[in-house]
Amino acid sequence: MNLLIVLVILAVIIFYVINIFNQLVKLKNRFQNAFAQIEVQLKRRYDLIPNLVETAKAYMSHERETLEAVISARNAAMAGLKVAANNPGDAGAISQLAGAEGALQSAMGRLNMVMEAYPDLKANQNMMQLSEELTSTENRVAFARQAFNDGVTEYNTYKQSFPPVLVAASFGHAKDAALLEFEDSKLIQAAPKVSF
């Protein structure tokens, strides 16, 4: 009788550990799939940027430095995306992508400011269409990034909770997955400086 009780308890423990393993795999797959959605949208944006720059070149021939900065930032972001796509849970890869995306957003912001000085460019049908597609893609990236961050948070929370924390590392889930933040949180939290 005692042997039967021990076997039942052992079976319950084994099934519980199997359940923890399966849940970890499910949550990891969920955030990796969410990253794949980010990857699709970022690639779409990277494909739009050269068209935008090419259209702008005709109007902004003396703004070559700004246009080259956008293309350079785009290429760096594409490289960061390739690294992050290989391991979306790696904090270093996600940090590298976030930094490259921040540089790209900065370069695109400078391009937008320069374009304000060219009303003919802003009125160009091609430019208006590309700008609209880029804006739409930015929104998709934001939604995909939010889904990824939600998946990462759910994975990390489950992995860090008790009892999964006892066995997660032995199943290959030792490191926390990193959130993808394109904004510089230190810069956002800093109070704006005003001088008169």
Q: What is the pLDDT along the chain (196 residues), one digit of tens a residue?
A: 789 999 999 999 999 999 999 999 999 999 999 999 999 999 999 999 998 888 888 777 777 888 899 999 999 999 999 999 998 989 999 999 999 999 999 999 888 888 888 887 777 788 888 888 988 999 999 999 999 999 999 999 999 999 999 899 888 898 899 999 876 544 434 444 433 3
How big is the chain by its Cα radius of gyration, in Å?
Answer: 23
Which pLDDT value is given to residue 188?
38
Provide the Cα torsion 89, 90, 91, 96; round to 10°.
Answer: -110
Which pLDDT value is given to residue 187?
43
Query: 90: left (phi > 0), else alpha (psi -120 to 50), else beta?
Result: beta
Which pLDDT value is given to residue 151?
95
Which has the closest alpha carbon to 52: 113, 126, 2, 157?
A: 126
Which has the closest alpha carbon to 70: 99, 94, 46, 44?
A: 46
What's the first-to-final CA gap in the chain, in angstroms? 86
* Domains of the chain with CATH codes: 28-182 (1.20.1440.20)
Which pLDDT value is given to residue 192?
40
Which pLDDT value is given to residue 7?
93
Whether 97 and 83 have beta carbons less than 8 Å apart is answered as yes
Whether 88 and 145 have beta carbons less than 8 Å apart is answered as no
Q: How far apart are CA 184 and CA 99, in angstroms?
A: 9
Which pLDDT value is given to residue 85?
93
Which pLDDT value is given to residue 117?
81
Whole-Å CA distances, 138 to 27, 46, 97: 26, 11, 16
Which pLDDT value is given to residue 33?
94
